[in-house]
Amino acid sequence: MGRRTRIIYTDSQKALMWDRWRKGDSLQQIAQLFDRNHSSVSNILSITGGIRPPPRKRAVNALSLAEREEISRAMVAGQSIRAIARDLGRSPSTISRELSRNGGSAHYRASDADQAAWDRAHRPKPCKLLEHRHLARLVATKLRQQWSPQQIAGWLKYSYPDNMELHVSHETIYKTLFIQARGALKKELTEHLRRTRVMRRSRHHTQKTDNHGQISDAVSISERPAAVEDRAVPGHWEGDLLFGSANSQIATLVERHTRYVMLVKIARKDTQTVVDALIKHARKLPQELYKSLTWDRGKELADHKRFTLSTDIQVYFCDPRSPWQRGSNENINGLLRQYFPKGLDISGYSQAQLNAIARRLNERPRKTLDYETPAQRFYQSVAATG
């Protein structure tokens, strides 16, 4: 097979790449549009970390190509710099600098000068994290603690309200991580992001599409009281199993009002084992802080009636194929993948280790809590019940 000639992508082809990338197409799918391998497209998109560069625009006061052509014709006609400047409504110094930068009056060419000016204008704005190294160190420290860029940005504003030099947007943090040419944050820090990609991808929400089985006497989420739905009072939880390899799993629980997380070690996923573990765990909390539990349609909670009889905690079930109805728990399960990546056997974690991981999540500031932590909100609720 003969080698294909190297392709030089046009601006319109690159625009098509970015459009398809934003829609969520894979590198290979995009490359197939041009009959190329995915590496050909990756070389284009990875330069800016998967972040579409903003469209470039000429400065309003910059010389246009038409003006440069007038300068070129005027020089051939032997006009003076002052005469050219007067005809164009420009300063004589502008015309003089234009000529000296582009070969002088004898070698000036309008198209070459215009392209050279466009190339010289490609000077990116200095990165704030590069200019303020103390801020960069603060950001790097929090990233190593598995804080998200949005949590870091919110915490900085909350902690240093009057120091604008220590304020930075989460988008700037992401861009500095993904666009390594900025040089402010090390590439290795991307390993601490919730998603450990080194390029930005479109946001996708993966949802379970299978019905896990029929639960007898299941109480639908539609029957859940309004006080639970609007998160007005604490004590209402969402739960699910987070699975690892080798048939390992843990139970994840999130309180809807405070977003407080608890993890429960589960030896097996059969309903008796799961319900026994949840009953034991539920008895550690005051009744005022554990009034209901919303669960997915998994068969591991088929024995939900025994759980309710033992704890006086009502269980509600999401509609089939609708895990988004327990969105707080879905979000936490995504965060937990930083600690329990897919393919990891999590059966070896002790309850103490699970508690330590839950503590780290509970001590992260949350945007939805005005950058207070779930631990702060939860212990306020505990104090109120006391």
For the purposes of burial, counting CB atoms within 10 Å of the CB of 92, is it exposed (0-12), middle (13-18) or buried (19 or more)? Answer: middle
Which of 4-13, 96-105, 257-266 is the least confident region?
Answer: 4-13
* C-alpha–C-alpha distance, residues 146 and 361, integer Å: 9
Asked if 209 and 306 count as a contact pair (C-beta separation under 8 A), the reply is: no
pLDDT exceeds cutoff 90 at 278: yes
Amino acid at 141: T
pLDDT digits (tens, 9 = 90+) for 15-31: 888 888 888 888 888 88
Q: What is the structure's pLDDT at 37?
A: 82
Distance of CA 1 to CAs 4, 10, 28, 33, 122, Å?
Answer: 9, 26, 21, 20, 40
Q: Find the mean pLDDT for residues 236-262.
A: 94
pLDDT digits (tens, 9 = 90+) for 294-328: 998 888 999 999 999 999 999 999 988 788 889 99
Q: Name the one residue in this structure whose structure tokens are 């998200």.
A: 148
pLDDT exceeds cutoff 60 at 209: no
DSSP 220: B
pLDDT exceeds cutoff 90 at 10: no
pLDDT exceeds cutoff 50 at 210: no
Reported residue count of the chain is 386
pLDDT exceeds cutoff 80 at 184: no
Residue 254 pairs with which residues in a beta bridge? 238, 261
Residue 214: pLDDT band with limits 50, 70, 90:
low
* C-alpha–C-alpha distance, residues 303 and 217, integer Å: 10
Q: Name the one residue in this structure whose structure tokens are 């309850």.
A: 351
Main-chain dihedrals φ then ψ at residue 143, nearest 5 degrees: -65, -40
Q: Which residues fall within 8 angstroms of residue 20, CB to CB, at 6 or more apart?
A: 29, 30, 33
Q: What are the extents of the domains in the chain?
A: 11-48, 66-120, 128-192, 221-385
Q: Find the mean pLDDT for residues 209-228.
A: 75
pTM here is 0.54
Q: Calculate the average pLDDT of the chain.
A: 86
Q: Find the mean pLDDT for residues 326-346.
A: 91
Quick check: helix, strand or coil at residue 237? strand
pLDDT exceeds cutoff 60 at 175: yes
The CATH architecture that domain 221-385 belongs to is: 2-Layer Sandwich (3.30)
Q: What is the structure's pLDDT at 289?
A: 92
Amino acid at 380: Q
Q: What is the structure's pLDDT at 386?
A: 66
Q: Find the mean pLDDT for residues 248-261.
A: 95
pLDDT exceeds cutoff 60 at 45: yes
* C-alpha–C-alpha distance, residues 39 and 27, integer Å: 8
Q: Find the mean pLDDT for residues 75-91.
A: 91
| Percent above pLDDT 90 for the chain | 45
Amino acid at 231: R
DSSP 62: S
